[in-house]
Structure formats: C-alpha cells, structure tokens
Amino acid sequence: MSEPSNAPASHGTLARSRRMMLLDTSMKVLYPSILVLAMYFLLAGHNRPGGGFVGGLVVGGALALRYVSGGAQAVRSTFRLPPHLFLGLGLLMSASTAFVPVVLGGSILEHGDTTFHLPIFDKVKVTSALPFDIGVDLIVIGLILMAFAAFGEDVPDAPGAADDGSDAPSPALKIRSKP
Amino acid sequence: MSVLLAFAAAFLFATGTWMLLQRRLSRILIGVGLVGHGSNILLLMSGGDGGVSPIIDTADPSEFADPLPQALVLTSIVITFGVTAFLLALGFRSWRITHDDVVEDDVEDRFIARRHETDQAIAEEELAERDQAVEEGRR
Amino acid sequence: MNALIPLPIIVPLLGASLCVIAARARWIQRIVSLSALTCNMIVAITLFVRVDDRDMVVMQAGGWPVPLGITLAVDRLSAVMLVVSSLMLLAVMVYAIGQKAEESRYAAFNPVYLVLAAGVSASFITGDLFNLFVAFEMMLVASYVLLTLGGRPDQVRAGMSYVVISLIASTFFVTALAVIYAATGTVNMAQLAERMPELPPGVATGFSLLLILVFGIKAGLFPLFFWLPDSYPTASGAITAVFAGLLTKVGVYAIIRTQTLMFPPDARQGTLLLVLAGLTMIVGVLGALAQDDLRRMLSFHIVSHIGYMIFGLALFTLAGVAGAVFYVVHHIIVKTALFLVAGLVERRSGSDRLSRVGGLVRSAPVIAVLFALPALSIAGLPPFSGFVGKFALVSAGIDSQDWLIVGVSLLVSLLTVYVMVRIWSNVFWGEPEDPAIVAWIASEESRVPRLMTASASVVVALSVALMVFAGPLYNYAERTAADLLAPQRYIESVLGSDAP
C-alpha cells in the first residue's frame, strides 16, 4: 500500500490542488475499517448474511474510495499483483472447490462443515465452502481492479481530434504476450 | 405491500420500454436498466407473501419468507449489473469512436437498399435511352 | 459415471482460470484451452455412449434433495448436443489459433472462449429453468466480449444492438421465471412438467408463449431474427463460425426441451410454431438472396434453417421431432464448416464481397472443394446429410398432412440451392475485376495458414461423414424423439421413481 499523497505525480494521479484533505485524512481510518468489515462478511457468510460476493463488493467500495481520493494511480498501487491474477486465481479456486466433492464421490458443490474449539475464539465453525467464497471474493476484487484500470484514467473533457478510435488500449487490456 | 411492488414493477417496465424506444444510446442504457429492475422486482414478488428474513437460527422456519426467489433475484441482479456495466463500457467506446451517442444504422443494410435504388435508376435510364432510340428510329 | 456430468462445465472454467493466470504466455493459454476442449470432447463422447447404451444420468448439485438443489441431467438430446458442440468448439479453437487474428492479438480470447464453451455445455446439461438462464447468460456474456474484441467501429455498433437485444431477451426470461415460479412454486424442469398440467390451460399456454418469445429471440425465429445477420458477420471468421454453429442452436435446443418436457400437449404451440417456422424459412432465404457479403448471406441463411428445425418440432410427432433433432446436428456441423470456409475465402481473396471476388476455383481449388461439399449438403442434394434431414422433415410433414409447410419447405430448399449457386458462381467462377483483389491473390500474404485449412477440412470431413452415418444418426434421433415425446422417464429419473 502506498501513500497516495507521496506518490509521484505521474499519469493517473490527481493533482495536489484537486485533492480533498478531509477525504484523504479520513481514508486512513475508513479504508482499513472497510477491509475489516469485508473480512467479516467473507467469514460470516455461511448461514448468516455475507459471503464472498458481498465481501468482494465491500472491498470494491473501499477501492472506489481510494479512487475518489487518489485517482487511478492509488487504485493501481493498492496491490502488488496484477488484477488478472486475482481474477484467475479466484476462478481457479472456486471452480476446483466446486469439483473436489465430485472426486470424493459426492456431487458438485457439495460441502460439509466442522466445528473447532480454539482458545480465544471458542467455537469456530469451518465449512468447506469457505475456499469457494474466497475464490468468489477474489474474482470480484479482480474485476473491480480491472474496471478501474480500464476506465479509471481521466478522459479528455471533449473528444479530441487525435482520439479517432485507434487509441492505445487501457492498461488492463494491454496484457500482451510475445507471439 | 404486494400491490405496491406490482405497481413499481409495472411502472419500471413502462418507463423502461419508453426509454428503450429512443434513438439515444444513453437512454437505451437507462431503459435496459429500468426494465431489468422491473423484472427483478417481479421475480422477488413471485415468492408470495413476505415473512421473517430466512436466516437459520433466527426464527421459526414456518415464518420465513420464501428464500428461493431472493437467491434467484440476487443472481439475476448480479447478471444484469454485469451486463449493464459491459454495455456502458461499449457505449463509452462507441462515444469515443463517433463522438455521439445515437445508435447508427447498419451500413450494409443501407448499402443493399441503395443498391436496389441504383439498380432501378440504371434500369430506368436504359429504358429511357431505348425509348429515345426508338423515337429517333421512327424519325 | 455420474462424476462425468459436471465436467463439461467445470473443465472449461478451470481452463479459463488458468488462461487468465497465464495471460502473458500465449503458448500456455493455447495448450490449456486445447486440452480443456479435448477433455470436454472425450467426456461428451463417453456420456453419449453411456446414455444411449443405458439410461440418462442425473446429478443433484450440492447433494440437496430434488426441488432444492440444481439438477444436472444428461439425456439423449443433451448428450448428442454435447458431443457435436464440443467437436465444433475444439475445431474452431484450432482454426482461431491458425487464423492469427483475435486469438493471438488479445489475451482475453482464450479464457472468454472457454467460458463460452462452459456456458454452452451448461445450457445442455442443466435440468433447472433458472440455471438455464444462468447458463445462457454465461454463454451470452462471453459472446458479447468475443464479438466486440477488436473494438472496431462496426463491431461496436453491431455489438451494441446485439447486447441490447440479448439483454431484453434475458429480461423477458427473468419475467417468465418470475411468473412461472409464482404459479408453480418451482423452477426445476421435471417438477414443472408435473405441475404444469394442474394449472388452468390458459396460464400454461401463456408460459409456453413467453418462453417461445425468450428462446425465439436467441434462436433467431421469424419476427425476432433481425439482430442476427447484423451482428454475426462483424466478428472474425472463427468467432462467427462458432456463433453461427452453436449459439442459435442452443436457443433451438431450449425451445425443444421446454416445449416437449414442460408443457402438456394442449399448451404446446404447434400451429403457432408451424407458422413461425414457415415465415422464418422464407424471410431468411429471401434475406440471404439480397446480400452481397458472403458471411452476411450465410448468416441470413442460418435464420432460414432455424425454420426447418422448428418445423420438425412443431409437428410434435415422432418423425417430426426426430427430423428436427437430426437437422440440428446436421446444421451445427455443416454451418460451422461453411463459415470456416467463408473465413478461408476471405483470407485468400482479401474480401468477402460477392461482387468483388471471383475465380477462386482456379486460384484456390482446395477451398473450392471444401466449400462445395457442405454447400451441397446444406442445399439438401442427395446423398448428403442435408437431404436426409429435409427428407425426414418433409415426409413427417406429409404424414401430418400439413401441406402448406411442406410446400414452403420445398420452395425454400430450391431457393437455398439458388443461394449456394449464387455464392459459387460469384466467388469461385469468373474473374475478379478489382485490381486490388487480383494483386492480393497473387501476393504471398494471401496464402492461407495450414492450420486454418486443416481444421476447416476436418469439419468438412465431419459433415461428409454425417452422410455416411446418416442411418445410425437418424435412428438415434428417433430414439431421442421417443424420449422427448414421452417425458415421463425424464421426470422419473430426475425426481426419483418414488416421487409423487
């Protein structure tokens, strides 16, 4: 995580004059608390409201706040990993969790749960659906990161003459490989 | 409550359809969203009368609202949301290309329509030429 | 054995995830997608053999009892659709790699293509109406991306109308689901089949019409087809081929499945479907006649042939439904072949305008042969599979004494021959007049990559093989039709024989 205000004023960073101090400061409190809330939703979501999707959306909300306060650069610097890795790993995790029970002779998406007794937390119920939820969470985060990467940059207010549709693809779409 | 929801769904369908029939892309997008919400409300209503939120261990299961439509409507909202986002991205792209948000005609369609017209024009011209030749022959 | 059922959905999804992770290494993506699709094909063939040999297979997702969980079921119809679709998906993937267009340019192609494959398989496998909606959306969202991948102005324009139309169809689908659930309290197709006869006939008829509207848009049925020839041709050759071969047929599959399984005979829309089928045939073929763009012509032609499938179904007789099933299988393979060859033509001559290209029979005799075989088949000339399919449908129509539709289908057959002849004489005979085209054909660049020709030849060979195996396939189609018209077995297999 980088401090948005110290980031070099490169492409996609909001100019210092356009930033709101109130928002920047409150972000320091808000951002971690939102992430904790997201974590709660992710872990609570089996028999109670929550789940991977909701958790992912809440993380997405936190990212949106970062975007408002620091511009596309702030979102991009949130995680070290490229967005498509989140998406891929999440899908891999969900799809394989869904399929594991079939290998074990059950049917797809089947899951079980078990209850532990841990020192501080006392009763902890763990379900095998948790990896599935984490996968969904990662998919949502990956998608939101990609959306910010693709559409987060400031667009010229009026479509300029140079913008003839042959513009360079945005970073998220710029995943090229050597032929 | 149910009547209110039914009216809400009907209203969303009506306004959404109106918007869909416009020529501006932005309005079509809004229309798609409205109609989608209308159908989602309809789906939510299909579970019958409401009840307690169906969360295990919070109430007697017999008092629960039907959870299935809720699950279905969540899925459907996610899908509508995703596709609408894609449509917005596409609209953005279209705006960057054309600097306008009017839905264009199909070029090929116009081409074929025009081809018919030119064919007719050519045929008429030939007919006129032949008539002229016949006239001249008579003279 | 049951463990195989979810594989056609899971394997492509796993492949898609690996492809996303390996976004920067195209060769890994290729290996992953080819092996995922090959695996899919093997699973599909195994299921096909097993289902035809013994009985349909059923799995309840999550291990939940029937009305709660999502049912996955493979019966004869699903099995044959799975086999054909997995074959086509694999062949088109190879073609796309050979084409070096979208596939090598965009990292998104491989994962999205696999999601499309998963969506198509899921549509065939699911036994749950809401899950069918989800599968449709999976397939459609993937198709939106594939259609607009290049981001060219014409693609964006066509993609826009395609997405809006599909979204409206999806909204109708959700609406249909809402009213059906409100009336019956279930979205499981087998359970719906049990409860539908208890409803007042008018209500059941309404549901039937609503579902025909939804799937009719996806299938390109008569008044709802206009989006199809507009959007399909704007994608690249491989993508158009898979759209043309599979997507509309998934809609047809859904119509066949819901009409035969869910609705009691008095709520089926035989007459309406017959009228729609006739109009679809005529309008489609007339539209094809007017076109100048090869792929657009073939796209209109898809519409026309959707009419034949619906015609067979609408008779609701054993021969009619068997003919429809046979025709669907035939059409998927032959149409994919035609579109793949159309891609070759475009590559070889640099254009797909009938008025500009010409003389390919001399400059590219292989392509000419590859085009001629499926073209003869789709025109319904004996001894090709198209003839068998049309013959089955026409004789079923004669049995049911629906003379009008028989007449229409024969007329449309003739017009189809005319369309194919028009393509042939414009593209393969004559001489190209345009100097740009002549220069292109003479240049090195116009050489078609071997991989493209090879995969197109495989699909063409399959379409010829259909002619050889038309007998066994028709027998299979008849068994399928018998299953479809007596849905009691499907219902019992899904709900368990002790169900009320």
Verify whether the Cβ–Cβ distance B96 to A165 is below 8 Å.
yes
- What does A22-44 look like in DSSP terms, one character per residue? HHHHHHHHHHHHHHHHHHHHHHH
Dist. CA C20–CA C4, nearest whole Å: 25
* C438-462: average pLDDT: 83
Cis peptide before C383 (omega within 30 of 0): yes
- Phi/psi of residue C170, nearest 5 degrees: -65, -40
Dist. CA C194–CA C399, nearest whole Å: 30
Question: Which residue, among C167, C302, C175, has the nearest Cα to C230 in the 3D structure?
Answer: C302
Residues B59 and B120 in one domain: no
Residues B52 and B91 in one domain: yes
Per the document, the length of chain B is 139
On the question of pLDDT at C50 being above 70, the answer is yes
On the question of pLDDT at B51 being above 90, the answer is no
CB A82 within 8 A of CB A23: no
CB C111 within 8 A of CB A95: no
Q: What is the pLDDT of residues B86-135, one digit of tens each?
A: 888 888 888 888 777 777 666 677 777 777 677 777 777 877 887 787 77
- Phi/psi of residue C293, nearest 5 degrees: -100, 125
Dist. CA C39–CA C217, nearest whole Å: 31
Residues of A in contact with B83 (CB under 8 A): none
Higher pLDDT, C212 or A14: C212
Mean pLDDT over each residue of chain B, to the nearest integer = 82
On the question of pLDDT at A162 being above 60, the answer is no
Residues B56 and B112 in one domain: no
C498 DSSP assignment: T
Higher pLDDT, C308 or A108: C308
**Residue span of the structural domain in which B114 resides:** 105-139
Residue A157 domain-assigned?
Answer: no
Residues B100 and B133 in one domain: no
How many other CB atoms sit within 10 Å of the CB of residue C456? 32
Q: What is the pLDDT of residues A87-106, one digit of tens each?
A: 999 999 998 888 888 877 77
Residues B61 and B121 in one domain: no
Cα C243 to Cα A164, A174, C143, C316, C332, distances in angstroms: 29, 26, 8, 28, 10
- Burial degree of C199 (CB within 10 A; 0-12, 13-18, 19+): middle
Mean pLDDT over each residue of chain C, to the nearest integer = 87
Verify whether the Cβ–Cβ distance A88 to C23 is below 8 Å.
yes
Identity of the amino acid at C169 = A
Distance from the B33 Cα atom to the nearest Cα atom in chain C, whole angstroms:
10
Query: Does any CB of chain C come closer than 8 Å to the CB of residue A159?
Result: no
Verify whether the Cβ–Cβ distance C151 to B93 is below 8 Å.
yes
Q: What is the pLDDT of residues C435-446, one digit of tens each?
A: 777 777 777 777
Residue A133 domain-assigned?
Answer: yes
Of A5-9, A49-53, A155-159, least confident by mean pLDDT is A5-9
Verify whether the Cβ–Cβ distance B85 to A147 is below 8 Å.
yes
Question: Which residue, among A48, A31, A38, has the nearest Cα to A141 in the 3D structure?
Answer: A38
Higher pLDDT, A8 or C3: C3
Distance from the B136 Cα atom to the nearest Cα atom in chain C, whole angstroms:
35
**Residue span of the structural domain in which A21 resides:** 9-152
How many other CB atoms sit within 10 Å of the CB of residue B86? 17
How many other CB atoms sit within 10 Å of the CB of residue C464? 18
- Burial degree of C265 (CB within 10 A; 0-12, 13-18, 19+): exposed
User: Residue C116: which pLDDT band, with cuts at 50, 70 and 90?
Assistant: very high
Mutation choice for A interface testing from B96, B101, B104 by most A CBs within 10 A: B96
Dist. CA C142–CA C121, nearest whole Å: 13
Higher pLDDT, C416 or C430: C416
User: Residue A17: which pLDDT band, with cuts at 50, 70 and 90?
Assistant: low
Residues B23 and B79 in one domain: yes
Query: Does any CB of chain C come closer than 8 Å to the CB of residue A81?
Result: no
Domain of B57, CATH number, reads 1.10.287.3510
Query: Does any CB of chain C come closer than 8 Å to the CB of residue B76?
Result: yes
pLDDT score of A12: 59
Number of domains in chain A: 1
C429 DSSP assignment: S
Residue A71 domain-assigned?
Answer: yes
Identity of the amino acid at A126 = V
- Phi/psi of residue C166, nearest 5 degrees: -65, -35
Residue A138 domain-assigned?
Answer: yes
Number of domains in chain B: 2
Coil, strand, or helix at residue C310? helix
* A21-38: average pLDDT: 88
Q: What residues does A13 pair with on adjacent strands?
A: A71
Cα B48 to Cα A89, A146, C181, distances in angstroms: 40, 39, 10
pLDDT score of A14: 67
Mutation choice for A interface testing from B88, B90, B99 by most A CBs within 10 A: B99
Of A156-160, C166-170, C337-341, C399-403, least confident by mean pLDDT is A156-160
Residue A102 domain-assigned?
Answer: yes
* C27-56: average pLDDT: 90
Q: What is the pLDDT of residues C252-307, one digit of tens each?
A: 999 999 988 888 887 787 888 899 999 999 999 998 888 888 888 888 888 999 99
Q: What is the pLDDT of residues C337-374, one digit of tens each?
A: 999 998 888 888 877 777 777 777 777 888 888 888 99
Residues of A in contact with C108 (CB under 8 A): 173, 175
* C2-22: average pLDDT: 89
The pair of structure tokens assigned to B98 is 């054309």
Cα B109 to Cα A145, C226, C244, C428, distances in angstroms: 40, 11, 20, 25
pLDDT score of C214: 92
Q: Rounded to 10 degrees, what is the CA torsion of C402, C316, C328, C374?
A: -20
Higher pLDDT, C392 or C62: C392
Using an 8 Å CB-CB cutoff, list residues of chain A that contact chain B: 47-49, 53, 147, 150-151, 159, 163-165, 167
Residues B120 and B98 in one domain: no
- Phi/psi of residue C330, nearest 5 degrees: -55, -45
Q: Among A126-135, A165-174, B57-66, which range has the highest average pLDDT?
A: A126-135
Which residues does C237 contact at the CB level (< 8 Å), separation at least 6? C95, C99, C101, C295, C339, C340, C342, C343, C344, C346, C347
Residue A48 domain-assigned?
Answer: yes
